[in-house]
Structure 1
């Protein structure tokens, strides 16, 4: 245990988690409203009410952060505009790619490996992850909207219990927890420029998921008891509170990658760097070719 603790502290220091979390928080803050603009313009296509997004947001973020973001987000979601969609998409793409790039740099530092020198591949990689995040968010929103609508329509036809709607609504936390876990699991496995194994990745993903959701619920208590004076400064105080939450969230998520790197070193020794650009795509392609040859 003592050896593992030493490994963890060394990799935690190498990753500069505290400084990197600030960078993640800043670019995350820049990406919030552009992403909301994009989502707001897409909601009418799927017939989703804007307040449904707020219901999910209220589940995922602290109460103080929600009270600050809700009015502005609702305003953006209810006012669709083609020009705003274009601007929002560009800004969201840039800021989100910066978040992914900063996260990848920190994860590589945690694993003690170098970065991929192909700038085009890195940007393509960031874009792919942005799409993945949007898809997962869309799945969550669709589950909580269309899922309940479908259940209401099927209840009289299939003679289902009327309590089934409340059951679907109660699945909000399990679904949120599961999808967040899957997202972090994929990030922790594919982003590092190192040869990893799944058994060394899931622990950090699981603990980070639980810790992040717990942080979202406990952060309101922190603000109420220790940072109440900050919120009295209205807009400025609200921005400070949001930045604090994003910073703490970054620390939690980055610590998960440090934990994974420490576990892999503890059990398997030296971590091997993968020098291939987007090595995981190459790995999948080779496996498919091998199957074709065998057939």
Structure 2
């Protein structure tokens, strides 16, 4: 049996844990409401849906130049989306990725960047609400920032795909030359799940670090990025199980059912992306009691001050 002193310590520790959970829960609920997570998820899912087909056109035109087979890209997509959704669209994806259409490539690039940047802007508005900070006032800087960040994320994903695409080819070439065991190539092929999880985690870290107009550290964005990554994978698996055993109507209606499942999945994923920032903001408020807001970048005032200083200077031309 425990002594009275030990029992009182356990009770105090239990009360402290309950107090911490209650306090953090109140902050989390408040930030969730302020960020309007579900509404922002609907906006993000809308622009994600608009960007799917332009991105497919861009990828189908890039793969032939990189000498990559579309079959090497599909396993990574399969791990990140519900299984039923992937199997329904697998043939469509193969047809898209195996055919290039250079005539509409420029239009597809513009469409992909526009829709993705608009989704990024909606995400930024929601994250700023979660952190309780003022958004950037210059609309040009906002649009330019969203475009640059979107382009960087797309390039990051493409680089990772290229690395693992060429990595497999390199292993197949050097294995007989250096008499390496076949286990290395098989292990490399089995890394699809870790690669998918790592890519998602890196993307969420980048989003939560750069998108909010708040002064955050890399360490402070890790909890939300980890929870969003785990949530993404769990949601995809839950959707797959639900469709397999319960959603008989989705299989009956074919394409329409697949489209409805995709819309719901995108809605949940869009909300999940914002929810990670809400978790980070809640932890920041719980630990510090406030959120640091960076000083605004006053472009007009800065330019005017420089023009004034330049006009007041007197220059003497030496003969």
> TM-score normalized by structure 1?
0.90
Residue 274 of structure 1: how far off its partner (Å):
2.1
Residue 77 of structure 2 is aligned to residue 57 of structure 1:
yes
Match of 1:282 in 2: none
**1:250-261 aligned within 5 A:** 250-261=270-281
In structure 1, what is the Cα distance between the partners aligned to 2:60 and 2:26? Answer: 47
Aligned residue pairs: how many? 278
In structure 2, what is the Cα distance between the partners aligned to 1:184 and 1:143? Answer: 20
Residue 151 of structure 1: how far off its partner (Å):
0.6
What are the superposed Cα offsets for residues 29-55 of structure 1, whole Å, 9 maximum, x if unpaired?
A: 110010010011011110011222222
What are the superposed Cα offsets for residues 222-242 of structure 1, whole Å, 9 maximum, x if unpaired?
A: 223343313422222211110
1:115 maps to which of 129, 135, 138:
135
In structure 2, what is the Cα distance between the partners aligned to 1:176 and 1:57? Answer: 8
Match of 2:29 in 1: 9
In structure 2, what is the Cα distance between the partners aligned to 1:179 and 1:144? Answer: 12
SS at match of 1:22: helix
In structure 1, what is the Cα distance between the partners aligned to 2:181 and 2:33? Answer: 55
SS at match of 1:232: helix
SS at match of 2:113: helix
Contact 2:60 2:100 survives alignment (8 Å): yes
What are the superposed Cα offsets for residues 49-72 of structure 1, whole Å, 9 maximum, x if unpaired?
A: 122222221121111211233222
In structure 2, what is the Cα distance between the partners aligned to 1:29 and 1:63? Answer: 18
Contact 1:48 1:145 survives alignment (8 Å): yes
In structure 1, what is the Cα distance between the partners aligned to 2:29 and 2:78? Answer: 34
Match of 2:244 in 1: 224
Match of 1:66 in 2: 86
1:192 maps to which of 202, 207, 212:
212
> TM-score normalized by structure 2?
0.83
Contact 1:144 1:172 survives alignment (8 Å): no
SS at match of 2:182: coil
Residue 59 of structure 2 is aligned to residue 39 of structure 1:
yes
SS at match of 1:213: helix
**1:71-90 aligned within 5 A:** 71-90=91-110
What are the superposed Cα offsets for residues 214-267 of structure 1, whole Å, 9 maximum, x if unpaired?
A: 221221112233433134222222111101111111122211110000000000
Residue 197 of structure 2 is aligned to residue 177 of structure 1:
yes
Contact 1:211 1:252 survives alignment (8 Å): yes
What are the superposed Cα offsets for residues 166-201 of structure 1, whole Å, 9 maximum, x if unpaired?
A: 111112221221221111111101111111122221
In structure 2, what is the Cα distance between the partners aligned to 1:216 and 1:120? Answer: 36
The more displaced of 175-184 and 30-39 is 175-184
Residue 277 of structure 1: how far off its partner (Å):
4.3
In structure 2, what is the Cα distance between the partners aligned to 1:71 and 1:113? Answer: 45
What are the superposed Cα offsets for residues 104-156 of structure 1, whole Å, 9 maximum, x if unpaired?
A: 11111111112112111112111112222222221332233211110111112
Residue 18 of structure 1: how far off its partner (Å):
0.8
Match of 1:164 in 2: 184
Larger Cα Rg: Structure 1 or Structure 2? 2
2:284 maps to which of 259, 264, 287:
264
Contact 2:113 2:151 survives alignment (8 Å): no
Unmatched 5+ residue regions in structure 2? Answer: 1-20, 299-319
Match of 1:290 in 2: none
